[in-house]
Structure 1
């Protein structure tokens, strides 16, 4: 299915898991693996030339080491460097190469949500023309269980379609956070309790109808569970990730899970699982 898989390599220890996963994905999908490193354009010309040779050699060694460590076949590979601003060059190269997906390692600012917004990882996820995978777990870990936060938006429907198309054999959990007006003030009132029960049942019916419609459009019916939890969306999602982390979390780049940003920094600062972020449409 894939044609070009772009892996952005920064040669850090955190990058190795992403590199190994990129090799595995390229081998499984028959894609060409394009390995890209972005150099500082402000270095002197000779230093830039010397550094480029050293970086390419290091990426080649890492590729060989990871293939041997994980017993992975060798995909068709292109290793290159460019000079510029990392996130801008990664997005530009993805456009020019018509990349089917981008793979990145996790960032180094774990547990620091305030420092994540301006990272290369966050910026690529917001601007990429294709799905972006942030990898924090070993490549041998299968993506059997995939969690998809579910609402009725076009971005969410697009993300779910991407997941079903790419992972038809996976077990999907669709998580919807709900909140009904008057919960605090009227929770003990019997009439309100009956109305609340009716509203939750109506919500589930609506969600199931949405899912059935999408399944008919896609033509695939993976193993699927619909979970409704009461609460604010980000709190519900983070609680689920801490209690029962999936193998992969799939989101839209415009998911409104937090009050401050489309792609919440907390998810990137607490990588409970690998993360797939899709463009909004």
Structure 2
């Protein structure tokens, strides 16, 4: 069966980068590209034929232009124009089509996490049955450096496998954060500092063994840097994104990092409002 990519687009300027990336990914992988545009469900029925034709014509023009820009053949396409709630229709289409990867543009409100909560992108990232890409950069911007936060969970193993399978040849930085209670209060104690360094070394060795086992399963030898830092996992990740921003951040959806929570201050909203890189989120279960 031909693999399927799903591009959800409102044809806005903010979605152009996602359109560009989707064309490139479909051309490189040989996948079929399903393009979904959701329209107002309250649009009068008599207006639908003309609206649908105009939207489909614009999509066709955009596809032809991007194929020419990137010098690639037109991928196999299916254009779907449906009325409804954008979030619900995107998730439904992903389920019904057995989509391997969904691609969305970003209408991020940088620095305004409270305006991100409840957006279409935020809701799709939480509920889609497949990995979701939130795209900021066009396909001309190649992914070289990929950051993957990891712990010892099934979610982090899953996202690492997804990245290694989908993005061969990239440089991976694996970030593990560990937080200790009362670390500030004990930081002046020399015995505590010695224990902390021993614990850091133990964690690194454990992570290296886990990685060696996983690489053996996948039969691959990627370019990997392992970074172990002490601190709150959310703050460690956000600080890393500011100090050493990657081209792509890839992470699994599980509660430890706040993904899937509904609170406005969850990591999801902070990433969408603060991160300047592309984002891939994989729902683990």
- TM norm. shorter chain > 0.5: yes
Distance 1:166 1:63 in 2: 23
Q: Are positions 1:188 and 2:188 aligned together?
A: yes
What's the secondary structure of 1:224's corresponding residue? strand
Q: Which runs of 5+ in 1 are unaligned?
A: none
Q: Which residue of 2 aligns with 1:264?
A: 268
**Contact 1:253 1:280 (8 Å CA) reproduced:** yes
Distance change in 2, residues 1:145/1:108 (3 Å): closer
Residue matched to 1:253: 253
What is the alpha-carbon distance in structure 2 between the residues aligned to residue 111 and residue 48 of structure 1? 38
Cα distance, 1:262 vs structure 2? 6.3
Query: Within 2, Cα distance between the matches of 1:230 and 1:137?
Result: 31
Moved over 3 A (4+): 258-263
Residues 2 and 29 in structure 1, CA contact (< 8 A), matched pair in contact too: no
Give the deviation of 1:198 after TM superposition: 1.1
Instruction: Output the CA distance in 2 between the equivalents of 1:230 and 1:196.
Output: 9
Contact persistence 2:108–2:272 (CA under 8 A) = no
Counterparts of 1:143-222 in structure 2, within 5 Å, are 143-222=143-222
Q: Which has the larger displacement, 102-111 or 134-143?
A: 102-111
| 1:38-117 matched pairs, under 5 angstroms | 38-117=38-117
String of CA shifts for 1:182-221, please: whole Å, max 9, x gaps.
3212211221121111111111111112212221222222
CA distance in 2, matches of 1:191, 1:48: 73
Q: Which residue of 2 aligns with 1:137?
A: 137
State the distance in 2 between where 1:153 and 1:2 align: 31
Query: 1:66: Cα distance to partner?
Result: 1.9
Q: Secondary structure at the match of 2:257?
A: coil
Pair 1:191–1:263, CA change in 2 (3 A): closer
Kept in 2: contact 1:156–1:255 (CA 8 A): no
Question: Paired residue for 2:279?
Answer: 275
Q: 1:271 deviation in Å? A: 3.5
- Check the 8 A contact 1:174/1:227 in 2, yes or no: yes
Residue-by-residue CA offset, 1:42-79 (whole Å, 9 max, x unaligned): 11101233211111111111112222233332111111
Change (3 A) 1:2 1:125: farther
| CA distance in 1 between partners of 2:132 and 2:126 (Å) | 9
Bigger CA drift: 220-229 or 186-195? 186-195
TM-score, normalised on structure 1?
A: 0.94
Query: Structure 2 length as normaliser, TM-score?
Result: 0.93
| DSSP-derived class of the 2:272 partner | helix
Q: Retained in 2: the 8 A contact 1:36–1:79? A: yes
CA deviations on 1:74-112 (whole Å, 9 max, x unpaired) are 111111201111111111111111111001011143332
Q: Per the alignment, do residues 251 and 89 of structure 1 end up closer, same or farther by CA in structure 2, a change over 3 Å counting?
A: same
Residue 123 of structure 2 is aligned to residue 119 of structure 1: no
Aligned residues: 281
CA contact (8 A) 1:168 1:220 kept: no
Q: Is the 8 A contact 1:172 1:223 kept in 2?
A: yes
Q: Residues of 1 paired with 2:80 and 2:29: CA distance?
A: 21
Provide the alpha-carbon RMSD of the alignment: 1.7
CA distance in 1, matches of 2:110, 2:47: 32
The match for 1:225 is 225
